[in-house]
Amino acid sequence: MSMGDTDAMLNLGLFYYDEEDGRVMEEWLLQSANSGNVTAMNQLGFTYLYGTGVERDGKKTLEWFRKAAEAGDRDAMYRLGECYVGGNCGPANQSEGVTWYLKAAEAGHKGAAGSLVWFYENGRSVPKSLEEAKKWRERARRESN
């Protein structure tokens, strides 16, 4: 299947997202995501996170953000960090969240770098290090998402 085909599936899913026809939206997004479209994977993560047209499902949220993250998507890496730190996709796990923030920040995600500043300044789930906090603060200033 060509990338154009998966983009067309994504666009159909997004069309039905706007029309609030959850079942049809989910079908098209799943087809696109299962064919390797990282944007569709991310969109499914948001769809299940917020329950847009489908029932909220933390397990599916984590599944789709993880697939997108493992495909190299820095936004999905950041979202995984948010899910784990905030506990809004299941039980909170700050250590796992920081792991994903680190991956996202190393991939150039400004928000993840900014989040790491707080963790290093406060020694939460990482050793307290003002030097590391400063490094991530400077990196956040330089990055553009």
pLDDT, one tens digit per residue, over 36-57 is 999 999 999 999 999 988 899 9
Q: What is the dihedral of CA 35, 60, 10, 33, to 10 degrees?
A: -10
At 7 the pLDDT is 76
Handedness of CA 73, 65, 46, 20 (dihedral sign): positive
Question: What are the Cα distances from residue 69, in Å, to 8, 14, 65, 122?
Answer: 22, 20, 6, 26
At 3 the pLDDT is 47
Mean pLDDT of 67-84: 97
Task: Record the pTM.
Answer: 0.86
95-103: Cβ within 8 A, 24+ apart: 95/125, 97/125, 98/124, 98/125, 98/126, 100/69, 101/77, 103/69, 103/74, 103/77
Summarised one tens digit per residue, pLDDT across range 11-42 is: 676 666 655 667 888 898 999 999 999 999 99
Mean pLDDT of 95-124: 97
Angle among Cα 128, 134, 138 to the nearest 5 degrees reads: 145
Question: What are the Cα distances from residue 75, in Å, to 24, 88, 104, 107?
Answer: 25, 17, 7, 9
At 24 the pLDDT is 86
Count CA within 13 A, CB hemisphere, residue 3: 2
- Report residue 144's pLDDT band, with 50, 70 and 90 as the boundaries: low
Q: Is the pLDDT of residue 123 over 50?
A: yes
